[in-house]
Chain A
Amino acid sequence: MKPIRKQRLLLILLMLAGLSLAAFFALKAFNENLMYFFSTSDVVAGKAPNNTVFRLGGMVVKGSVQRPNADLLVRFKLSDFSQEVAVEYSGILPDLFREGQGIVAKGRLDGRGVFVAEEVLAKHDENYMPPEVAGSLKKPAEQP
């Protein structure tokens, strides 16, 4: 390689290294802000903001979904498999909402420590399979 080309190549590699470093520090600084939602453990540990709207993500705990009245109000618990948070929501739930499903809710904590949601979005997982396969995968786990 001619010296001038080697120099240019070196310059480009240096530029890329510098940029990656800059991007790394910028992303590290903004790490908190880039999180789309808080986990339930964060909320229990008091990391989530008080009196302001934030997003909470987690799995809908099996058997926790209740509809106390005939209206749209629904109560359920969210969990990240270590801590649980109670959620209240009044509105139409997405089609994928069900027990055991991951969801992201937007809202705020009230005085009782209950998360009052204004919006509920469903998160779907990265697994794709035919219903028969999903059925046969579930069976052994559900047997007592």
Chain B
Amino acid sequence: MSWIPAPVSRFFHRTSSPPHFYALADRFIPWLTAIFLLLLGAGLYGGLYLAPTDYQQGDSYRIIYIHVPAAWMSLFVYVMMAIMGGIALVWRMKLAEVMLISSAPIGAGFTFVALVTGSLWGKPMWGTWWVWDARLTSELILLFLYLGVISLYGAIEDKRSAARAVSILALVGVVNIPIIHYSVEWWNTLHQPATVSKLDKPSIHITMLVPLLLMAIAFKFYYLIAVLQAAKLELLKRETSSQWVKNMLEKQA
């Protein structure tokens, strides 16, 4: 790979070796947890206490501080999974496979939270728990894609070939991501159009926007923590018989 500078490529090679990654994850997790808790505290305080009530929806709009970050993360995690799947297929990198499969349950969780909070928000505002409009339906399909990735991985005994199958599924499903994002523009939906990601300035008041962005970053940190923890476990499972796991266990014993 001549087009990538040597130090960068060396860094990636070192990080992608399982023992090195394991140690690195161990070192990062406490810091990430501290940042996550800080952001979460600030975001919740700002969103639930400091932010004013909405002119139309009163206090019930405050579920936005969970719903929107969870929905953003459900898309983000899926794109991450697809990228990891691409890397796993092209470079046959073990760590990419591990990161892919560790992301799936977390992404499924975010999708589930987005669907449930959306439903709870829909009842008082729209007057219904659920409608089959393009946005809600495509988000539900995303949940099924996540569940498909998890069960396909579980169904194949050999984990290397399981990872390859899952990578292809993750890449196929990525077609759904732009559909979810643009569904509110392409078709008439009950769900309202995007607020923050519009090209002109966001149509949300700044006092409400700041806590929302804080919560969004907090959710990103939560994902990092969760995926590193899950990846550590998955690495241990896969490499039980390798020397570095044995060494580590001996050191701890």
Question: Do A and B form a real pair?
Answer: yes
Q: Which residue of A lies closest to B187 (CB)?
A: A34
Could you tell me if B204 and A104 are in contact, using CB atoms closer than 8 angstroms?
no
Could you tell me if A133 and B172 are in contact, using CB atoms closer than 8 angstroms?
no
A contact face: mostly helix, strand, loop, or mixed: mixed
Q: Which residue of B lies closest to A6 (CB)?
A: B90
Could you tell me if A5 and B55 are in contact, using CB atoms closer than 8 angstroms?
no
Q: Whole-angstrom distance from the CB of A95 to the nearest CB of chain B? A: 7
A136 to B208, CA, bound (A): 18
Q: B17-25, B189-197, B227-235: which lies at the A interface? A: B189-197
- Residues on B with C-beta less than 8 A from A128 are 54, 57, 61, 64, 195, 203-205, 208
Q: Whole-angstrom distance from the CB of A81 to the nearest CB of chain B? A: 15
Count A-B contacts at CB 8 Å.
Answer: 113
- Residues on B with C-beta less than 8 A from A9 are 86, 90
Could you tell me if A121 and B90 are in contact, using CB atoms closer than 8 angstroms?
no
Q: A134 near B: Cβ within 8 Å?
A: yes
Contacts known (A95-B125, A122-B126); A20 close to B175, Cβ less than 8 A: yes
Q: Whole-angstrom distance from the CB of A129 to the nearest CB of chain B? A: 4
Could you tell me if B188 and A121 are in contact, using CB atoms closer than 8 angstroms?
no
Contacts known (A5-B90, A8-B89, A20-B175); A122 close to B127, Cβ less than 8 A: yes
Q: Which residue of A lies closest to B176 (CB)?
A: A23
Contacts known (A94-B125, A121-B127); A126 close to B194, Cβ less than 8 A: yes
Could you tell me if A127 and B203 are in contact, using CB atoms closer than 8 angstroms?
yes
Q: A11-19, A45-53, A60-68, A69-77: which lies at the B interface? A: A11-19
Q: Which of B55, B125, B126, B134 has a CB less than 8 Å from the CB of A34?
A: B134
Contacts known (A34-B187, A134-B55); A126 close to B193, Cβ less than 8 A: yes
Could you tell me if A120 and B127 are in contact, using CB atoms closer than 8 angstroms?
yes
Interface residues of A (CB under 8 A from B): 1, 5, 8-9, 12, 15-16, 19-20, 23, 27, 31, 34-39, 57, 94-96, 104, 119-135
Additional A-B contacts beyond A23-B179, A27-B179 (20; CB < 8 A) = A12-B86, A35-B188, A36-B133, A36-B190, A37-B188, A38-B188, A94-B126, A95-B127, A120-B127, A122-B125, A126-B203, A128-B64, A128-B204, A130-B54, A130-B207, A130-B208, A131-B55, A132-B52, A133-B205, A134-B56
Closest 8 CB pairs of A and B: A134-B55, A94-B127, A130-B52, A36-B133, A129-B205, A128-B204, A126-B195, A131-B55
